[in-house]
Chains A and B, each alone.
Chain A
């Protein structure tokens, strides 16, 4: 078994601020993903990475940067937080042609 850890659990930011979310996995999975989920809504892919130092844009990449520093970690940066923005950011990992395992999420609130 393995686990995905996301930090922080809760993130409160100011409008215009640059905010970084971190994700670590110990499954030894190749592929990692960042999703955004707005309240009661579906998952939207922001970025994914199929190996260390690889980055692929998802449907919602504008306004975000990502970094796959090493196989086990994948960071997401909100480049300029939008006022009144509220969402949960979910990190996931998978081993090629297999299921994704999701982390517990980071809940973002922008004041």
Chain B
């Protein structure tokens, strides 16, 4: 079945350094949708980015990601981390089953 693998556990960065959270996926479906959701403390998850177009960069709120079907990847990046970026980040896959598969989540902690 479909699956999503993310950078494990906790990623700790100093403010101002670049962010990269890895996401790879497995599906037999050739046209999956990929999403990044962000969940801040005591809030519900909300959409950060989405893409279904191969090799096209998508950006929102300073974050960007590019879907690469050749490597089944959708890594999340930001050039300069801010304290307010501290949150739980989920990569998610939607294929033809109409069921969204979430990764286990990566907690990003940005320190001053």
Q: Complex formed: what's the CA distance from A58 to B99 in Å?
A: 9
CB closest chain-A residue, reference B46: A102
Question: Contact between B99 and A90 (Cβ–Cβ < 8 Å)?
Answer: no
Not counting A97-B52, A104-B44, a sample of 18 additional A-B residue pairs whose C-beta atoms are within 8 angstroms of each other reads: A33-B100, A41-B105, A42-B105, A43-B45, A43-B90, A45-B100, A50-B98, A56-B99, A90-B45, A97-B33, A97-B94, A99-B35, A99-B47, A100-B45, A100-B47, A100-B100, A101-B46, A103-B44
Residues of chain A lying within 8 A (CB to CB) of residue B98: 31, 50, 96
Question: Contact between B104 and A42 (Cβ–Cβ < 8 Å)?
Answer: yes
Return B102 CB to nearest CB of chain A, in Å. Answer: 5
Return A55 CB to nearest CB of chain B, in Å. Answer: 12
Where chain B touches its partner, the secondary structure class is strand
Size class of the contact patch on chain B: 20 to 34
A99-B35, A103-B44, A104-B44 in contact; A43/B102 too (CB < 8 A)? yes
Residues of chain B lying within 8 A (CB to CB) of residue A98: 50
